[in-house]
Amino acid sequence: MRALVLTGPGRAEVQEVEPPAAMPGEVVVDVERAGVCGTDAELFSGRMSYLRTGRSRYPLRPGHEWCGRVSATGDGVDPAWLGRRVTGDTMLGCGRCARCLAGRHHVCADVAELGISRGRPGALAEQVAVPVTALHPLPGAVDPAAGALAEPGGNALRAVRAAALEPGERLLVLGTGTIGLLVALFARARGIGVHLMGRDEDSLEPARRLGFDRLWTRESLPPAPWDAVVDASNAAGLPALAARLAEPGRRVVCIGLSGSPSTLDTRDLVLRDVTVVGVLGGSAGLAGAVAAYADGSVDPRPLVAATVGLDETAGVLAGRRPAGAGPGPKVHIDPRRVRGG
């Protein structure tokens, strides 16, 4: 089968590789759609911290935002999965430790991340093998574009839940990339008053197209405190800003990661009784994201700017926008699409 392979920093190529086999407890999925994520771009560039610690290494096959159809099942897997459209969890815990047994498999000490770490091949390929325990069925109302946004949607939904807001309260989202916009969509679906802050006016245009009108830059942001703040950016200085902007006694949620360490004055937390919550992975939010997509309360599809084939993926990872791309922040890959198709 054809798969994207990262062979070194700044090097990627589509290769013919052995297709996956359905091992015991696993299924093989024919990939319908896969998203290109900032993590994939960091793995491609060589900036990803896992490459320095040895948790990830080249050659590497990325892709952790995906959906597809089950085409084979391994021993111990209910054959009723055959032919079902599914998406799946990125975080694959050992299933035996105390964290996994308590439902916190995403922080298992031995977790493997599909398409990211510990050599687990990802979904920027025609097929991917996945443990059956990681699968989430997709209803017919969830098309491939939405299905491949279930994983980032799960992250965003977890961030909204962590903000602990009631309808009518005000949420400030820092960052207008895929996660920031999904946080805004899930919060709006819950009746929360959403404000977004972007780098500049141009970065706010995707949010404006989604119907959000309380949009700010750092220079125009009102000074009043917010009932909760979600930092969905990759800017090292914004967690500290979020802590200063949150209403005393309320919450800051950090889901973005900067390339350099963020500094945060704990006095801004202690003296104002602010709680900071970190969100890693969409595991506990996947089912809720799929349900919201299925019932129409959240429509993530306008975030997809373009869908291209595997042959164009290296260019996307390098930061090139596909010809004719729309304003959304996300590019999807159809592994069976040929160049120009």
Q: Which two tokens stand for residue 162?
A: 């962590």
- pLDDT attached to residue 30: 98
Work out the pLDDT band at 84, boundaries 50, 70, 90: very high
CB atoms near residue 262 (< 10 Å):
17
Q: Is 179 in a helix, a strand, or coil?
A: helix
pLDDT at 182 over 80: yes
Q: 122 and 165: one domain?
A: no
Query: Is 215 part of any domain?
Result: yes
Query: Is 68 part of any domain?
Result: yes
To the nearest 10 degrees (0 to 180), the angle between helices 286-295 and 150-163 is: 100
Work out the pLDDT band at 224, boundaries 50, 70, 90: confident
CATH number at residue 225: 3.40.50.720
CB 255, CB 230: distance < 8 Å? yes
Query: Is 54 part of any domain?
Result: yes
Q: 24 and 76: one domain?
A: yes
Q: 8 and 145: one domain?
A: yes
Average pLDDT in the 48-59 region? 93
pLDDT digits (tens, 9 = 90+) for 90-100: 999 999 999 99
CA–CA distance, 176 with 75 (Å, rounded to integer):
44
Average pLDDT of the chain, as a whole number:
96
Average pLDDT in the 56-61 region? 97
Work out the pLDDT band at 260, boundaries 50, 70, 90: confident
CATH number at residue 137: 3.90.180.10
pLDDT digits (tens, 9 = 90+) for 162-179: 999 999 999 999 999 999
Tell me which residue of 341, 310, 329, 308 sits closest to 179, measured CA to CA. Answer: 329
Q: 118 and 199: one domain?
A: no
> In percent, how much of the chain has pLDDT > 90?
95
pLDDT digits (tens, 9 = 90+) for 6-32: 999 999 999 999 999 999 999 999 999
Q: 6 and 143: one domain?
A: yes
Query: Is 285 part of any domain?
Result: no
Average pLDDT in the 37-42 region? 94
Q: How far apart are the first and last CA of the chain?
A: 18
Q: 191 and 170: one domain?
A: yes
Q: 7 and 133: one domain?
A: yes
CA–CA distance, 276 with 164 (Å, rounded to integer):
12
Query: Is 294 part of any domain?
Result: no
Query: Is 283 part of any domain?
Result: no
Q: 144 and 162: one domain?
A: no
- pLDDT attached to residue 258: 86
Domain count, the chain: 2
Work out the pLDDT band at 341, boundaries 50, 70, 90: low
CA–CA distance, 176 with 280 (Å, rounded to integer):
19
pLDDT at 340 over 70: no
Q: 235 and 185: one domain?
A: yes
Q: 71 and 162: one domain?
A: no
pLDDT at 337 over 80: yes
Who contacts 173 (Cβ-Cβ below 8 Å, separation ≥6)? 180, 183, 184, 187, 194, 195, 196, 197, 229, 230, 232
Q: 212 and 256: one domain?
A: yes
Query: Is 339 part of any domain?
Result: no
- pLDDT attached to residue 257: 87
**Residue 3 phi, psi (nearest 5):** -150, 150
Average pLDDT in the 54-64 region? 96
pLDDT at 102 over 90: yes
Q: Which two tokens stand for residue 285?
A: 């939010």
- pLDDT attached to residue 338: 75
pLDDT at 110 over 70: yes
Task: Identify the domain containing residue 181 by its residue range.
Answer: 156-278
Query: Is 289 part of any domain?
Result: no
Q: 100 and 115: one domain?
A: yes
CA–CA distance, 312 with 34 (Å, rounded to integer):
13
